[in-house]
Amino acid sequence: MKFSPWPQGQKLVHLDLKGAPPRIEYLHKLIDLFSRLGADGLLVEYEDMFPYEGELSLLQATAHPAYSREEVLCIQDVARSRGLEVIPLVQTFGHMEFVLKHKSLWGLREVGHCLGTLNPHKEQSVSLVMEMLRQVVELHPGLHTLHIGADEVYLLGEGEESKHWLASSGHTVEQLFLSHVTRVAKAIKEMWPQLNIVMWDDMMREMSHDTLKASGLVGLVQPMLWDYNPDLDVDKAVSLLEKYCHAGLPDLWAASSFKGSTSVHTSVTSTQRHVDNHLQWLKVAAAVSPGVRLQGIALTGWQKYDHLSVLCELMPVALPSLAACLKAINHGQFNPEDHIKVMESLGISSVEVEAMERTSEGESLFPGRKLAELIVDLTSLLNSEDLRYYENSMVVRGWLTPYHRQRKIVNPLMTMQIQSHATMLLTLLKQKVEAVREEMLRLYPDSTAQEWIGQHVEPVVAPLQRITQDIGECLLEMMPQTCLPSSVQQ
Neighbour count for residue 341 (Cβ, 10 Å): 16
Q: What is the DSSP string of 19-60?
A: SSPPPHHHHHHHHHHHHHHT--EEEEE-GGGS---GGGGGGS
DSSP β-ladder status, 85-88 and 251-259: unpaired
- 413's CB contacts (< 8 A; 6+ apart) are none
* C-alpha–C-alpha distance, residues 43 and 119, integer Å: 26
Active site residue 152: yes
- Which is nearest to 277 in space by CA: 305, 295, 297, 250? 297
CA 309, CA 302: separation in Å to the nearest integer? 11
Choose, from 25, 71, 123, 152, the residue flagged as catalytic: 152
Distances, alpha carbon 190 to alpha carbons 106, 130, 194, 195, in Å: 29, 12, 9, 10
Contact 134, 140 (CB under 8 A): no
CA dist list (Å): 444 to 232, 436, 440: 33, 11, 6
- The strand pair at 145-147 and 85-88 is best described as unpaired
Whether residue 245 contacts residue 295, with contact meaning beta carbons closer than 8 Å, is answered with no
Max CA-CA distance within the chain? 86
Q: Which helix (H) or strand (E) holds 212?
A: helix 209-213
Say if residues 240 and 223 touch (Cβ distance below 8 Å).
no
Type of residue numbered 149: G
Residue 475: in which H helix or E strand, if any?
Answer: helix 458-478
Within 8 A by CB and 6+ apart from 434, the residues are none
Neighbours of 462 (CB within 10 A): 10
Per-residue CA distances from 186 to 66, 150, 217 (Å): 30, 15, 9
β partners of residue 88:
44
Residue 171 in 3-state DSSP? coil
Task: Determine how many CB atoms are found less than 10 A away from the CB of residue 89.
Answer: 25
- Tell me the one-letter amino acid at 353: V
The closest of 134, 250, 113, 246 to 188, measured between CA atoms, is: 134
What's the distance, CA 236 to chain centroid? Answer: 25
The residues assigned a catalytic role are: 152
